[in-house]
């Protein structure tokens, strides 16, 4: 895995969240909460379960935006345009960022949620995604204030 690209991608997304919403805004805090709690779901229930859970708390279509857009800024802007609540947007942003970074790292090659979920079912892929989950958690904790 290209760790330099991983770190750059996570930082790009976190920086866009903090520049768009502010580092201590309600939605940024909710994204931080997702970044802190979702790795545990992934470790105990599995990555696919976690992504489906996140989609169930927002929508599959919003999470899928992460697979379709080239820049994290566009992912977040498209989710922001939706009529979803801030709670739903926070889940969507978190899930879309995970899928966006997975696609940038070539962990996921598809642009549909169902196909991405199938791609992420292997144990080897899940291990790669643990790095994404962990870096996202650490940068969210560092850049977004409670």
Task: Kindly give, in sequence order, each residue whose CB lies less than 8 Å from that of residue 18, ignoring residues fewer than 6 positions away.
Answer: 28, 143, 144
CATH C-level class of 3-143: mainly alpha
Helix axes 60-68, 47-57, angle to 10 degrees: 120
Distance, CA of 88 to CA of 138 (rounded, Å): 22
**Burial class, 111, CB count within 10 angstroms (exposed 0-12 / middle 13-18 / buried 19+):** middle
Q: What is residue 94's predicted lDDT score, i.e. its pLDDT?
A: 98
Which of 14, 6, 11 lies closest to 94, judged by CA? 14
Please state the domain extents for the chain.
3-143
pTM: 0.96
Confidence of residue 18 (pLDDT cuts 50, 70, 90): very high
Tokens 């696919």, residue located? 48
pLDDT at 1 over 80: no
Average pLDDT over residues 96-120: 95
Q: What is residue 106's predicted lDDT score, i.e. its pLDDT?
A: 95
pLDDT tens readout for residues 28-74: 999 999 999 999 989 999 999 999 999 999 999 999 999 999 999 99
């Amino acid at each position: 895995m290209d760790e330099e690209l991983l770190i750059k991608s996570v930082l790009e997304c976190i920086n866009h969240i903090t520049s768009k919403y502010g580092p201590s805004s309600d939605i940024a805090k909710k994204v931080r909460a997702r970044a802190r709690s979702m790795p545990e779901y992934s470790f105990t229930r599995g990555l696919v379960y976690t992504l489906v859970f996140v989609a169930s708390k927002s929508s599959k279509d919003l999470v899928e935006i992460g697979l379709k857009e080239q820049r994290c800024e566009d992912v977040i802007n498209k989710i922001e345009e939706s009529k979803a609540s801030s709670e739903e947007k926070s889940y969507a942003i978190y899930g879309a960022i995970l899928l966006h970074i997975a696609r940038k790292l070539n962990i996921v090659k598809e642009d549909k949620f169902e196909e991405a979920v199938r791609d992420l079912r292997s144990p080897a892929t899940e291990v790669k995604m643990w790095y994404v989950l962990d870096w996202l958690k650490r940068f969210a904790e560092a850049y977004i204030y409670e």
